[in-house]
Amino acid sequence: GLVNHVVSQLIQAIRSRDISFTSIERRSAGSYYEHVKISEPNEFDIMLVMPVTRLQLDECDDTGAYYYLSFKRNPKEKHLFKFLDEDGKLSAFKMLQALKEIIKQEVKNIKNVEVTVKRRKAGSPAITLQIKNPPAEITVDIILTLEVQQSWPPSTQDGLKIEQWLGRKVRGEFRNKPLYLVAKQNKREKVLRGNTWRLSFSHIEKAMMNNHGSSKTCCESDGPKCCRKSCLKLLKYLLEQLKMIHTKKLEKFCSYHVKTAFFHSCVMWPNDTDWHWGDLDHCFQNCLGYFLDCLQKSQLPHFFIPQYNLLSVEDKASSDFLSKQINNELNNGFPIFQE
């Protein structure tokens, strides 16, 4: 409720203060809204979605995930021209700056609750708010997202292999949904100019999490229960706990790694009968086995962009370290879950 109060007030201010942002809509993303949050609801991801009719996408590296954006001829969005850089590319950095300025001004006007804007972590696509909610604090990541009504780029062609799991028809429906691009710095760029955007599939991930069964009734009130979400929660919890103990050594890893491994597991075991509620222990070990295999090979393909490997060979030492920690847990009956 507190988050909604703060975000609603900010969105009103953003829409009214800059003509470029009048069409901004709020979408919720992340684990809280996929119902796979594992600890207190103290972290929220809010996407501020801006509809854009058509954009020219140019890949800026070989991952197939990062793009430079420019407008095609005679765009409707003339109001966004002020965010173009000298090469005519849409600058994520300029847009984020403008957005952040409005938010910084507006948080001063929020009554009855103390809200601050945190300093931006280099390369982070988010504007992070801290809401004091004694005795705790809530963080809200606001992520600027463009919603483009055009077909997905070629790098996604062979991804989203869900035909056996959710069906060919569902895959077609997903691929007809708009393209999402988030303001995200590509670290591989030689010169960091802040004008790259990354594809985002959080809207599809949320849809997959919320309709995860191969049968339509899976986990509905009168349908059979499966343990898919519980497996994902356990994977996330395991990584989160290990990261708390070995913060520096595991800084390269985030929950998106285990979420990706989990989606691949859903494809490997596509039937609801593979995920019986009573078999949670066995299913969790299957998912973990697959993730360990990925760590060992330093190979975890992005679920939607198969050419994009989320585990680089340069980080082999981190992967080996994580692998060792997980095997340690596995062989000792997961003491980390007992604590």
Asked if 307 contacts 223 with a C-beta cutoff of 8 angstroms, the reply is: no
pLDDT for residue 262: 97
Task: Look at residue 190 and give its three-state secondary structure.
Answer: coil
Tokens representing residue 281 in the block: 């222990």
pLDDT digits (tens, 9 = 90+) for 128-156: 999 987 788 998 989 999 999 999 999 99
**Which residues, 6+ apart, have CB-to-CB distance to 273 below 8 Å?**
none
pLDDT digits (tens, 9 = 90+) for 226-268: 999 999 999 999 999 999 999 999 999 999 999 999 999 999 9
CA angle (29 as vertex; 27, 32 as ends), nearest 5: 125
Q: pLDDT grade, residue 287 (50/70/90)? A: very high
pLDDT for residue 103: 93
Q: Is the peptide bond before 135 cis (omega within 30 degrees of 0)?
A: yes
pLDDT for residue 54: 87
Cα 98 to Cα 53, 87, 92, 141, 239: the distances in Å are: 21, 19, 10, 16, 35
Q: pLDDT grade, residue 271 (50/70/90)? A: very high
Taking each helix axis from N to C terminus, what angle separates 280-297 and 316-331, rounded to the nearest 10 degrees?
Answer: 150
In 158-204, which ranges are E strands?
A: 179-183, 197-200
pLDDT for residue 1: 84
pLDDT for residue 72: 86
Task: Look at residue 302 and give its three-state secondary structure.
Answer: coil
pLDDT for residue 235: 96
Whether residue 82 has pLDDT greater than 90: yes
Q: In this structure, what DSSP letter does residue 325 have?
A: H
Q: What percent of the chain has pLDDT over 90?
A: 68
pLDDT digits (tens, 9 = 90+) for 296-327: 999 999 999 999 999 988 889 999 999 999 99
Lookup result for tokens 């070995």: 246
Task: Look at residue 170 and give its three-state secondary structure.
Answer: helix
Cα 192 to Cα 146, 195, 200, 309, 315: the distances in Å are: 21, 8, 20, 21, 21
CATH topology of domain 1-202: Beta Polymerase; domain 2 (3.30.460)
Within 13 Å of residue 285, how many CA atoms lie on the same side as its CB? 9
> DSSP letters of 35-91?
T---S-S-EEEEEEEEEES-EEEEE-STTSSEEEEEE-SS-S-GGGGGGB-TTS-B-
**Picking from 36-50, 276-290, 291-305, which range would have the lowest pLDDT averaged per residue?**
36-50
pLDDT for residue 33: 65
> DSSP letters of 224-291?
--B-HHHHHHHHHHHHHHHHHHSTTTTTT--HHHHHHHHHHHHHHS-SGGGGBGGGHHHHHHHHHHHH
Whether residue 77 has pLDDT greater than 90: no
Q: pLDDT grade, residue 208 (50/70/90)? A: very high
Q: Which segments of the chain belong to CATH 1.10.1410.40?
A: 216-337
pLDDT digits (tens, 9 = 90+) for 5-47: 899 999 999 999 999 999 999 987 666 666 666 666 788 888 9
Tokens representing residue 296 in the block: 């060992």
With 0.95 as the threshold, say if the pTM is over it.
no
Distance from C-alpha of 113 to C-alpha of 135, rounded to nearest angstrom: 13
CATH architecture of 216-337: Orthogonal Bundle (1.10)
Whether residue 124 has pLDDT greater than 60: yes
Whether residue 190 has pLDDT greater than 60: no
Q: Which segments of the chain belong to CATH 3.30.460.90?
A: 1-202
Q: Are strands 179-183 and 197-200 parallel, antiparallel or unpaired?
A: antiparallel
Mean pLDDT for all residues in the chain: 90
pLDDT for residue 193: 64
Measured in degrees and rounded to the nearest 5, phi and psi for residue 72 equal -75, 180
The CB density around residue 19, as the number of other CB atoms within 10 Å, is 12
Asked if 209 contacts 236 with a C-beta cutoff of 8 angstroms, the reply is: no
Distance from C-alpha of 102 to C-alpha of 264, rounded to nearest angstrom: 40
pLDDT for residue 65: 95
**Picking from 2-16, 35-49, 167-181, 208-222, which range would have the lowest pLDDT averaged per residue?**
35-49
